[in-house]
């Protein structure tokens, strides 16, 4: 039976046909932004990605799995300044914690784990190509922005993963923040000119000292390791816009080639029926759940108990149910092992009796 996937790009279920006929599959999953401990909503996406990879490998595909580390963006820079530390020191603690948590959840480590700060030259190269093609421009603040109008003027379409109302869009408006709402459709920052608040977080570029925008980071890392066109891009549905939409635009704008064939997005996670929030007291990291006496297998079991495209309600009662389910599985496995051992003993006795 052929494998079928729901492709956000086409908004329909399609047969999975890798770009490479020999069965090699390039798969990119947006990794953590290491500004804090990852929460259980984040980990639903990573468990989902782990299942996709494991199943593809089970079906015989040779998967090349890439997951990035976002170690420079607005939140990180703000916290580095507040804590009077260095970028590397601040992000290292949360990066280490993330990989420790992945092991607790029994997630397979990606084959490549690039860091944004190690790929600044690749980002500058993409931005330079966009500048050459007239799709990017330098604004009065010396930052470089992606021009949606010029991109669409080249015959390209912006708004392929989500439906956007361009009639409400204010032409020429720019957004410098890494994250912005759907209603703020506008030119987005590719390279942010250095400002005092950035402290020592900056790099040289042809346009002056500064740092990359968040969206350009994933384009640079994914295309370096998987090529200008690859098979699968995964992430949470909250990343579809603007992050993934901007990835498509800047990547295809720079290369003139299709970026990703299949886009898979996991749905939001609720906690006790409500959006997860620290103010509501329902915000949990994996470590919070471990401290409550649950283990990684139980958390993983609960996360995979619902379809990845369905909004999932995470509850403590559900965790208790996952614990019961795991106990039943363990009991079944133990009985099967005992039966195998008994069968082996009976065979050995029969062989001994024949001599």
- Whether 219 is in a domain gets the answer yes
Q: What is the value of pTM for the model shown?
A: 0.92
**Cα distance from N-terminal residue to C-terminal residue, the chain:** 49
Tell me how crowded residue 60 is: count the other CB atoms within 10 A of its CB.
7
pLDDT of residue 178: 78
Mean pLDDT by groups of 10 residues along the chain of 355 residues: 94 97 96 96 96 97 98 96 96 98 98 98 98 96 94 92 76 74 77 96 97 97 98 96 96 97 96 88 93 97 95 95 94 91 66 49
- Whether 331 is in a domain gets the answer no
- Whether 36 is in a domain gets the answer yes
Question: 322 CB contacts (<8 Å, ≥6 apart)?
Answer: 298, 299, 301, 302, 305
Q: Which domain holds residue 234?
A: 18-286
Cα torsion 207, 211, 217, 223: sign: positive
- Whether 8 is in a domain gets the answer no
- Whether 299 is in a domain gets the answer no
Alpha carbons 254 and 261: distance in angstroms, whole number: 17
What are the Cα distances from residue 323, in Å, to 43, 98, 102? 18, 23, 19
Angle at 124 between CA 121 and CA 128, to 5 degrees: 140
pLDDT of residue 347: 58
- Whether 252 is in a domain gets the answer yes
Question: 41 CB contacts (<8 Å, ≥6 apart)?
Answer: 236, 268, 269, 276
**Residue the block writes with tokens 């603040």:** 141
- Whether 352 is in a domain gets the answer no
Q: Residue 85's domain is classified under what CATH number?
A: 3.40.50.620
Number of domains present in the structure of the chain: 1
- Whether 207 is in a domain gets the answer yes
């Amino acid at each position: 039976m052929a494998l079928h996937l729901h492709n956000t790009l086409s908004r329909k279920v399609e047969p999975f046909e890798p770009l490479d006929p020999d069965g090699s599959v390039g798969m990119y999953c947006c990794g953590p932004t290491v500004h804090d401990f990852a929460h259980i909503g984040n980990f639903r996406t990573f468990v989902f990605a782990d299942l996709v990879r494991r199943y593809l490998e089970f079906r015989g595909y040779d998967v090349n799995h890439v997951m990035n580390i976002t170690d420079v963006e607005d939140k990180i820079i703000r916290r580095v300044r507040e804590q009077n530390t260095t970028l590397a020191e601040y992000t290292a603690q949360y990066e280490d914690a993330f990989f420790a948590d992945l092991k607790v959840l029994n997630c397979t480590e990606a084959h490549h784990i690039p860091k944004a700060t190690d790929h600044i030259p690749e980002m500058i190269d993409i931005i330079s190509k966009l500048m050459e093609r007239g799709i990017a421009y330098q604004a009065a603040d010396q930052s470089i922005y992606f021009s949606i109008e010029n991109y669409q003027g080249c015959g390209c379409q912006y708004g392929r993963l989500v439906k956007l109302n361009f009639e409400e869009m204010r032409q020429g408006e720019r957004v410098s923040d890494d994250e912005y709402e759907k209603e703020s459709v506008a030119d987005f920052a590719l390279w942010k000119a250095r400002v005092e608040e950035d402290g020592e977080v900056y790099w040289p570029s042809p346009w002056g000292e500064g740092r990359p925008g968040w969206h350009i980071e994933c384009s640079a890392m994914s295309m370096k390791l998987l090529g200008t066109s690859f098979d699968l891009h995964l992430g949470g549905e909250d990343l579809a816009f603007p992050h993934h939409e901007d990835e498509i635009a800047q990547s295809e704008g720079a290369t003139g080639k299709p970026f990703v064939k299949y886009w898979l997005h996991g749905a939001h996670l609720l906690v006790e029926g409500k959006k997860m929030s620290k103010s509501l007291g329902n915000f949990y990291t994996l470590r919070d759940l471990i401290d409550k006496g649950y283990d990684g297998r139980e958390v993983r079991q609960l996360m995979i108990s619902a379809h990845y495209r369905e909004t999932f309600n995470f509850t403590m009662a559900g965790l208790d149910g996952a614990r019961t389910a795991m106990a039943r599985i363990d009991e079944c496995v133990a009985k099967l092992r005992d039966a195998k051992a008994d069968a082996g003993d009976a065979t050995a006795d029969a062989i001994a009796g024949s001599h």
